[in-house]
Amino acid sequence: MTAADLARLEQWFAVFVGGFADLDPEGLRNIRLKEEHTHRVVTCMREIAAGEGLDSSQTLLALAIALLHDVGRFPQYRRWRTFRDSESDNHARLSLEVIRDEQLLAGLPEDEQLLIEEAVRFHNLLELPSAVASSADRYSRLIRDADKLDIWWVFLDYYRQPEQERASAVGLGFPDLPEVTPACLDALAAGTIIRLDQARFLNDFKLLQISWVYDLNFESTRRLLRERGYLEQLAATLPDSQQVQDAVQRALASLEEIGSTGR
């Protein structure tokens, strides 16, 4: 992967996203959301790569993965009008389909093609399969961290915006009621990741996003998360019950433990 290869992919991406300009205003907001998300994930990836000491060719590869990881989101939204994979299709699989249909990796060394495809395929799994080859595994972990850093930003930004300007698909349609599902609270309190299928209310989804702190792979990501204070900001929007605050405190405390990624 050279700087010219990455520039070619960036140009392709701009044209590809331009192909969705015919959607209605609500559709356009959701498309723009994913376009901007992609660019910010590339930026997050640059920061993590720098923090982890990747060399320039490793960094270019990581940036290409960041640029391509969500390309399936665009056809997903056009076809199903949702970003909910359970109501449409696995968006990582759709991203691979786009990458192959558009022959985006033609001309790259075969091992790099494989790395990019593996990292894209695994970026949204609840947990990484342990059998992934080691170098692909490193890039899969990088994209998962970079993606999470920006999803926190997207979610917090959503609530800062006036309701009529919000990209409707961000909250995945969870009802914004003053409720919390006990199973979600228990999972967070136990220091585990909440599964999307356990979430029923918007508060559950917020807890789920806080639980991602238990699935970070790199100390640089944890440092960026501490600096940006996303978890504290999310926590401030949750109900003030003792149980909720205890579970959240445990998550916050784990972020302070240096080197607790265990990898």
Contacting residues toward Fe ion, per CB under 5 A: 70, 147
Containing 26, the helix (H) or strand (E) segment is helix 25-51
Instruction: State in angstroms the smallest separation of the CB of 172 from Fe ion.
Output: 14
Whose Cβ is closer to Fe ion: residue 37's or residue 138's?
A: 37
Instruction: State in angstroms the smallest separation of the CB of 41 from Fe ion.
Output: 6
Q: Which amino acid is at 137?
A: D
- CB under 8 Å to 224, separation ≥6 — which residues? 44, 47, 48, 51, 149
Tokens of 36: 């901007």
Q: Which amino acid is at 181?
A: T
Instruction: State in angstroms the smallest separation of the CB of 147 from Fe ion.
Output: 4
Whose Cβ is closer to Fe ion: residue 137's or residue 147's?
A: 147
Instruction: State in angstroms the smallest separation of the CB of 134 from Fe ion.
Output: 23
Instruction: State in angstroms the smallest separation of the CB of 37 from Fe ion.
Output: 6
Instruction: State in angstroms the smallest separation of the CB of 49 from Fe ion.
Output: 16
Residue 94 contacts residue 124 (beta carbons within 8 Å):
no
Whose Cβ is closer to Fe ion: residue 147's or residue 204's?
A: 147
Tokens of 189: 């309190």
Closest CA to 147 of 112, 131, 123, 126: 123
Whose Cβ is closer to Fe ion: residue 138's or residue 144's?
A: 144
3-state SS track over 68-111: HCCCCHHHHHHHHCCCCHHHCCCHHHHHHHHHHHCCCCCCCCHH
Q: How many helices and strands (H and E) does the chain possess?
A: 12, 0
Whose Cβ is closer to Fe ion: residue 42's or residue 244's?
A: 42
Tokens of 185: 């609270």
Whose Cβ is closer to Fe ion: residue 84's or residue 200's?
A: 84
